[in-house]
Each structure stands twice: as C-alpha cells, then as structure tokens.
Structure 1
C-alpha cells in the first residue's frame, strides 16, 4: 500500500464549512487540475479522467463530522484506493487540511504514478485554500 500525502494547507474557513464543501462531490470539480477531463458527479459520487494516467471513480466513504471526508474507489479503477481529507480546526474561522491517498498499486505502477499522484493531492489542497 502506497501512502501519498499532500502538504498541510491552512484554509481560511471553519472546519464545518470545509467539511460541508468536501462532502458534496459536485464541489470537487472546482479543485481539479487542468489535466482532468470527463468530469461527472453527484452529491456522493464522482468520476474523472486524469490525462495520461487513468479514469478514477469514487464514492463517499466513512465521514467524521468536521474532521474527515473519506472518498473510496468505486466501480472500475486501475487500482484500489481511498482518499482521506483530514480537517484540523484552527480556531473558529480557519482549519488545516491534508489529503492522504492510500493506493494499492504494484511496485512498477507505484514507481511511475507516485510523483503525479503527489502533485495531484497537492493541487487539490492548494485549490481548496484558494476557494476561501
């Protein structure tokens, strides 16, 4: 299992606001990098293609109010994974967010994908901060 963590990002919004935003998968499109296409979402599922890599399909996993929004592999995916959006309150109007991708990849795929996936989770958390 590969664990790929984003940088921890300070977001100028309450933990409750960020939890609510991330819990609606329709909002995630706003965080995606330019290399993402074929976006499709509902409130609890999404699918998209990362150009040059793969199509990913996710659904909501176990959430912990104002602390964790979990997204898990759903349907056809190139590997099994979960994406954990960890939220740490920092007062009433700020929180720290870190995204951790746990991916079950063979060693060859891990070697090729680790860098792009690290970049992907860093873009997501950075774009989240820009929303607020």
Structure 2
C-alpha cells in the first residue's frame, strides 16, 4: 500500500473546516487545473484527471469534526482511499490529507509523484481558502 500525505494548520475552527470538507461540492475548489469535467453532489464527486483517468469518489464515512473518508464510487484503476482528518489546535485546525493507494510497482512509478502533487496542492488550497 502506498501512503501519501500532507498537512497544514488552517486559521479556522475545526467545525468550519470539517463542514467545508464534509461536502463534496466544495472539493472542486481544492482541485488543481489538471482536473476537469467536475460533477458533484454533497456525497459524491466525479472528475477527469488530465492524461490519467476519470474518477468517481463518494463519502464512505463522516465523523463529525474529526474525519471524512472517500472511496471510489465505481470501478477505479486501483484501490484508493482519501481521508481528511481534522483536529483542533487552539483557535486553529490541523488538517491532514492521506491517500492510500494499492499500486503495483509500475503504477507506483507512474502515479506516486502526481498523487503527491495532488495532495500537496489540495492541502495548500484548503489553507489559502480558509484564510480568506
């Protein structure tokens, strides 16, 4: 299992960050420009990753003010789980995005760097969005 993660301190209370992350409609704002054909509801999102694949994700689990877990809504090229965890840090929130992907060696060589870039960009965008 390949595990990719990043985290940031967000200048908002944990309930505000959780509420944002718990709605798939908000996640389009976290996506890089290589994502297109975005479509979402509160519980599900589908999109295309440029030069890669079309993905559909759904929320598998919500634990209020703690975590939001996404899994594929339909057959994906590999098993993947995305988990946002939030925890209170004084008046701020620690937000951590973890991607766990079941990648064979060849897929790992191709996908690990783009997945890390995706995680880094989403965490950075969340931090910037929540500061405005």
CA contact (8 A) 1:69 1:86 kept: yes
Pairwise CA RMSD: 0.9
1:3 is matched with which residue? 3
Structure 2: gaps (5+ residues)? none
Runs of 4+ more than 6 Å apart: none
Structure 1 gaps, min length 5 = none
Structure 2 Cα separation of the partners of residues 3 and 109 of structure 1 = 14
**TM-score, with normalisation over the residues of structure 2?**
0.94
2:48 maps to which residue? Answer: 49
Query: With structure 1 as the length reference, what TM-score do the two structures score?
Result: 0.94
CA distance in 2, matches of 1:110, 1:55: 18
Corresponding residue of 2:36: 37
Q: Deviations over 1:48-104 (max 9, x none)?
A: 11101211110001222111111111113111111010112112x310111000111
2:97 is paired with a residue whose SS is strand
Partner of 1:125: 123
Asked if 1:116 is matched to 2:114, the reply is: yes
Residues 10-66 of structure 1: CA deviation (Å, up to 9, x unaligned): 111111111110111000011110110010100000011110121111000122211
- Asked whether the equivalents of residues 55 and 78 of structure 1 are also in contact (C-alpha less than 8 Å), the reply is no
Q: Distance in 1 between matches of 2:70 and 2:21?
A: 10
